[in-house]
Structure 1
Amino acid sequence: MKVNALLISALFVSSCIALWGVVDPHGLGSVSSRIVTIQFESRGWFIMLEASALLLLAIYLAVSKYGSIRIGPEGSEPEFSTTAWIAMLFAAGMGVGLLFFGVSEPLTHFSVIRDFSSDPEAARLAMFVTYLNWGFHAWAIYGVVALIVAYFAFRRERSLLLSAPLLDVYGEKAWTRGLAWLFDFLSVVAIAVGLAGSLAMGVFQIQTGLAGVLGIPNSPYLTATIFAAMCVAFLIPLRRDLGEGMSKLSNLAMAIAIGLLVFLLVAGPTSFMMNSIVSGFGRYVYNVIPAGFSTTEFFDQSISTWFQDWTLNYMIWWLAWSPFVGIFIARISRGRTIREFLAGVIIAPTLFSIFWFGVLGGVGFFDVLDGSGHLLEVNEMSLDATTFALLQQFPLKFITQIATITAAFLFVVTSVVSAGFTLAMIGTGGDENPSPSVRTIWGMVLGALGLAMILVNDVSLVRSIIALSAIAFVFIVPILVVCLLKSLSKEVAK
């Protein structure tokens, strides 16, 4: 094991956060919530500006003369097939979140917007906001950060670290080394805390589903059992080869999710859902760029709070996950051109997300507009239960609920495996294949942080903790972008 100051410091700070969360979970959540609210009120405009700028930058790089540059030496070939590559990046980036929020988020937005609009118009706007939160902006943040890491690692033959661009462009000076160390340290903390939050949300949803399917109490004992099973499940593949463990698990999770999606589309109000998807996609594509610059400056406090709790929180959440997802995507993307890379990372997952929310959210809106409205009632009581309440309205409800629980479990496991792998790479100075012992240590730290988030037992507070860990990246990512553009312009000039 390669031990250095970064590894020791990152493990120490991550462990302290985990200990704070275990000893005083609500204290950790409330402090994070207050700090994040202050940041959103003062810098919300900058967060939206940055997210939109990264999307525009990704479009420019894909269609420009830089698009044909290969990520790696000329003639290098991708390590993974396109299908396996997309499945792994998707499972690492958003998998469990889609299962958790697929029905609940559109209905939550609908509950707010209907106070200012008719129900059909509120449904259309709610779906648009959901697409905005999970679509091109999110994957552009991931894609640009991943491209920066991959380009400098494989084209410039630097390490798979966020510090590599700074050191490559500005040289090994005292100030660059200090700033580079800070970049890597903050990326470790953001990855660990952000992943732990998703682990907690996965446990929340799985325990709600199991309690309903098995007819047992939703008790702390059930939570502990699920959490223990999950820890065992992600520690085993952390000790195995990346392609052997992560690839197979992510492919299985994606297959279950796609099967569930097709079943709901066929068994549900197909025409209603397809009309919603087609019109919603057109509305989203037409308005996505202007909407990315929204800040709700002229709205009342309730709308501003809703905007901060959802859209702003998501943009900072994607920034929190960008070091983890970016480094992991970079690791599996050697040999692709910049154009192919950005198209695969941004377009394919966005289209799947739109289809996913169009189907699950479409069923929810159909129930509100033409049904009993039961799903809206369930959603107002518990976000964890909404997806399962939807599945109970369909045939084969036992099978589909078990499939959803299994997919959620696998998505959490693949996220922890990829995060543990990434943290081990950073902690060992960018080693592409860190030792199983280092990966296992980080898996244990992630488990402890996940336990702290579970003890907080409040999704909104968990999201605030994640957002707090990412605030620094609002300022770090623009510096990395400058490094990429400088290096690309020099390469083309030569």
Structure 2
Amino acid sequence: MKQVTRVFYISVVIAFLFIGWGIIPDSTLPTWNLNNITTNIQSFITDKFGWFYLLSATGFLVFAIFLIFSRYGKIKLGKPDDEPEYPYITWFAMLFSAGMGIGLVFWGAAEPLSHFHTPPTAEPGTQEAAKEAMRYSFFHWGFHPWAIYAVIALALAYFKFRKNAPGVFSAALAPLLGEERIKGPIGTIIDSIAVFATIFGVATSLGFGALQISSGLAYLVPGLNDNFTLQLSIIAVVTVLFMVSAMTGLNKGIKYLSNTNIVLALLLMFFLLFAGPTNFIMDYFTTTFGSYISNLPQMSLRMTPFSEESNTWVQGWTIFYWAWWISWAPFVGTFIARVSRGRTVREFILGVLLVPTIFGALWFSVFGGTTIHLEFFQGMDIQSAVSELGTEVALFAMLENVPLGMVMSIIGLTLISTFFVTSADSATFVLGMQTTGGSLNPRNQVKFTWGIIQSSAAAVLLWQGGLGALQTAAIIAAFPFTVIMIMLCFSLVKSFAEEDRKIGLKKKQ
């Protein structure tokens, strides 16, 4: 594997040490086992630096909006005559499948239902709680996460396609740190942090996918037990599938599966929309989107220093989500950058911010709205199934109360599986790219290595602590990368200003 860099060897060693640590039984290391140590680190970060995640995520959104309206918006991500490689529909499908696929299916019904019964400020189970539930679901899956992705992808695409720099994070920091520094230990550390965040950000989502597939199967198939053995079997099967897909390359496996995901997602969503309470869902979507926009500044900066209970809610939801998106950002940002050559800065940011946000809002309105309608107006007790069997069964508990529920549940399981595959094979491509000096076509051996590591990390996290361990890993992985993202913003502005100055001088001449 001649293409690989020092980052590959350093990251592989760290990842295997982590996985090996996780395999050691708790009885062998009662105090120093993986679950205890990571939980303590996660508690320290959320207690002491929750405000840092909140301000950083909001700052990235402000930065993205600034670029849309700035004179830098006309700069192309590529040479002046470069044209986009993919049409809009394929571009949206690929960035969406990589960006949020498994998460939307996992949380589409579960998050609004959870907020409805445990709202941030309202009385549980009331009309006001229902409004808050959907508004915060929009908030957690809307402009903020896609702004995080947009910042990363913009920096990588700009420096790779316009400046001919290697497609790695350290190269995008050259204007800020200098060419010499990024070629030395500092650059290696930066790229290794990005790889570490990617591994555990993606492992979190793969774990969510395995949990939901196993829970869905156990919920739908009598006599089948939802346990770690079933989850591990699912991870093993899907690993084979996504490795086969990854080996076929970006323009075959990932492209076709991304388009398949969109078709299945739209089929499930529109069926539920028209088979369910259509007018309620669309009214809910419309009024909540307006409420989301009008309350965005307040929600973006909401901390609760005088209420420990409310502070726990913010840490468990908003802070977790911002950390999760940041830990996913190296992976999703690299992938979006790879498929966005030829678009202008303004076109790119508008596309990445608006289309997925609106689609995600509609998705939550359909799935979460149907779930809340069943509880609020029809007296169904879906929350009891969730309390007994876990968050991951919310989708299937809701679907069994709609027409053709079994068929829809099977489609839902298929959708989770295909999103699992696209997220994982996209991540193997990105990790391969980041550890081969930015190669746009990393070797299959490199992708195979990262595929095995990703699946192993997801399995270890599930074994150590299930959903809680997955959330803990995301928060820890995101912390150092947040600092790198802030540096990327300054590096971008510095490079944009320099390019703008040169263009101005040329016009004067």
TM-score range, shorter chain: over 0.9
Q: Which amino acid aligns with 1:324?
A: F
CA displacement 1:106-164 (0-9 Å, x = unmatched): 11122222884260001111111111111100100011111011111111110111101
Looking at structure 1, the residues matched to 93 and 37 of structure 2 have their Cα atoms a distance apart, in angstroms, of 36
Q: Specify whether residues 222 and 348 from structure 1 end up closer, same or farther in structure 2 by C-alpha distance, changes over 3 A only.
A: same
CA displacement 1:29-81 (0-9 Å, x = unmatched): 33222212211221111211111111111111012111111000001011111
Q: Specify whether residues 82 and 115 from structure 1 end up closer, same or farther in structure 2 by C-alpha distance, changes over 3 A only.
A: closer
CA displacement 1:279-330 (0-9 Å, x = unmatched): 00000011112321111223x2111111101100100111111111111110
CA contact (8 A) 1:14 1:445 kept: yes
2:312 paired residue number:
305
1:189 paired residue number:
196
1:202 paired residue number:
209
Aligned residue among 336, 357, 366 for 1:359: 366
CA contact (8 A) 1:108 1:380 kept: no
1:401 paired residue number:
409
Secondary structure, counterpart of 2:317 in structure 1: helix
Q: CA deviation at 1:456?
A: 2.5
1:3 paired residue number:
4
Q: Which amino acid aligns with 1:352?
A: F
Looking at structure 2, the residues matched to 22 and 84 of structure 1 have their Cα atoms a distance apart, in angstroms, of 40
Looking at structure 1, the residues matched to 477 and 242 of structure 2 have their Cα atoms a distance apart, in angstroms, of 23
2:218 paired residue number:
211
Q: Specify whether residues 222 and 175 from structure 1 end up closer, same or farther in structure 2 by C-alpha distance, changes over 3 A only.
A: closer
CA contact (8 A) 2:285 2:361 kept: yes
1:331 paired residue number:
338
Secondary structure, counterpart of 2:340 in structure 1: coil
Q: CA deviation at 1:173?
A: 2.6
Looking at structure 2, the residues matched to 48 and 24 of structure 1 have their Cα atoms a distance apart, in angstroms, of 36
2:355 paired residue number:
348
Q: Specify whether residues 174 and 483 from structure 1 end up closer, same or farther in structure 2 by C-alpha distance, changes over 3 A only.
A: closer
Q: CA deviation at 1:384?
A: 1.0
CA contact (8 A) 2:4 2:437 kept: no
Looking at structure 1, the residues matched to 19 and 469 of structure 2 have their Cα atoms a distance apart, in angstroms, of 15
Looking at structure 1, the residues matched to 161 and 182 of structure 2 have their Cα atoms a distance apart, in angstroms, of 25
2:21 paired residue number:
20
Aligned residue among 84, 103, 111 for 1:105: 111
Please give the TM-score of this superposition, normalised by the length of structure 1: 0.97
Secondary structure, counterpart of 1:102 in structure 2: helix
Q: Which amino acid aligns with 2:299?
A: A
Secondary structure, counterpart of 2:82 in structure 1: coil
1:88 paired residue number:
94
Looking at structure 1, the residues matched to 347 and 356 of structure 2 have their Cα atoms a distance apart, in angstroms, of 14
Say yes or no: does 1:148 pair with 2:149: no
Between stretches 212-221 and 262-271, larger displacement belongs to 212-221
Q: CA deviation at 1:169?
A: 4.4
CA contact (8 A) 1:36 1:464 kept: yes
CA displacement 1:244-272 (0-9 Å, x = unmatched): 01010111112111110001110111111
Provide the aligned C-alpha RMSD in A: 1.6
1:427 paired residue number:
435
Q: CA deviation at 1:233?
A: 0.5
Secondary structure, counterpart of 2:402 in structure 1: coil
- Listed as ranges, the gaps of 5+ residues in structure 1 are none
Please give the TM-score of this superposition, normalised by the length of structure 2: 0.94
Q: CA deviation at 1:23?
A: 2.6
CA contact (8 A) 1:166 1:176 kept: no
After the TM superposition, which residues 47-446 of structure 1 pair with which residues of structure 2 at under 5 Å, given as runs? 47-113=53-119, 116-117=122-123, 119-174=126-181, 177-218=184-225, 219-298=227-306, 300-381=307-388, 382-446=390-454
Secondary structure, counterpart of 1:85 in structure 2: helix
CA displacement 1:462-485 (0-9 Å, x = unmatched): 111111111101211111110000
Q: CA deviation at 1:21?
A: 2.2
